[in-house]
C-alpha cells in the first residue's frame, strides 16, 4: 500500500474525502489549480507550470462535469455542488484505476447529485474500481454493483445491486 500522496497517485488511486473543505480542496486557490493538483507534473517543465496546458486540461474536465465556473475563480467562492465537482474532477483527470469516494454527494443539490452519480457510473464503465462510502442507502443502491455492509467495523453482509433494497440493507446494518 502506498505511503505518500505522490506514490498513491502514481499507483492510480484517487480519494474524494467526506469533508471537501478541509481535506479535498485548497479553498484559497483557484479552481484550475485545485482541479489539476494530482496531475500538475504533466504541465511542469524545469519546475515551471505551463499555464495554458494546465488551463486546457481543467477546462476539459469542467466541460465533462458541466461546470460553468471560470478557471481562475477562487474555489472557496463556489457553491457546495461546484466545489464537490472540482474535487471529483481532479481525480477524473488523473485517470486512476481506483477511486475511493467518501460521501461523494454530501451537501449537494439533487441535480448535482444526479450528475455526480452519472460520472461515477461512466468511470466504472471505463473499468475503474470505485469504492463508495455513503450513509445514503438510495445512493448506494443507485451507484453500486454490490453493497458490502459493515456494523461496528465488522462485515455483516454483501448484497448485489439486483437484490439491494433499503429494507435489506437496514437489516444488515442492524445486525439482523
Residues 6+ apart with CB under 8 A from 119: 64, 65, 88, 92
> Which residues 6+ apart lie within 8 Å of 162 measured at CB?
none
Residue 174 in domain: no
Dihedral sign computed on CA atoms, order 12, 126, 120, 86 = positive
SS3 80: helix
pLDDT digits (tens, 9 = 90+) for 132-155: 999 889 989 988 989 999 888 889
Residue 122 domain boundaries: 5-144
> What is the model's pTM?
0.83
Using one digit for the tens of pLDDT, what is the confidence trace for 50-77?
888 888 888 888 888 788 778 888 999 9
In a domain, 159, yes or no: no
Domain count, the chain: 1
CATH number at residue 17: 3.40.50.300
Residue 51 lies in a domain: yes
Residue 26: inside a domain, yes or no? yes
**Quick check: is 33 in a domain?**
yes
Q: Is residue 27 part of a domain?
A: yes
The partner residues of 159 in beta bridges, in order of sequence, read 147
Amino acid at each position: 500500500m502506498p505511503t505518500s500522496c505522490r506514490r498513491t497517485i502514481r499507483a492510480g488511486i484517487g480519494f474524494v474525502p467526506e469533508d471537501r473543505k478541509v481535506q479535498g480542496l485548497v479553498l484559497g486557490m483557484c479552481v484550475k489549480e485545485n482541479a489539476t493538483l494530482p496531475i500538475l507534473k504533466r504541465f511542469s517543465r524545469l519546475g515551471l507550470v505551463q499555464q495554458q496546458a494546465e488551463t486546457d486540461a481543467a477546462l476539459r474536465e469542467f466541460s465533462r462535469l458541466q461546470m460553468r465556473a471560470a478557471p481562475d475563480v477562487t474555489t472557496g467562492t463556489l457553491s457546495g455542488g461546484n466545489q464537490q465537482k472540482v474535487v471529483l474532477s481532479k481525480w477524473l483527470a488523473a485517470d486512476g484505476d481506483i477511486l475511493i469516494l467518501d460521501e461523494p454527494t454530501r451537501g449537494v443539490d439533487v441535480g448535482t447529485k444526479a450528475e455526480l452519480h452519472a460520472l461515477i457510473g461512466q468511470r466504472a464503465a471505463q473499468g475503474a474500481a470505485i469504492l463508495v462510502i455513503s450513509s445514503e442507502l438510495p445512493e448506494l443502491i443507485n451507484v453500486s454493483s454490490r453493497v458490502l455492509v459493515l456494523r461496528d467495523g465488522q462485515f455483516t453482509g454483501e448484497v448485489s445491486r439486483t437484490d439491494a433494497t433499503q429494507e435489506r440493507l437496514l437489516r444488515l446494518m442492524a445486525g439482523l
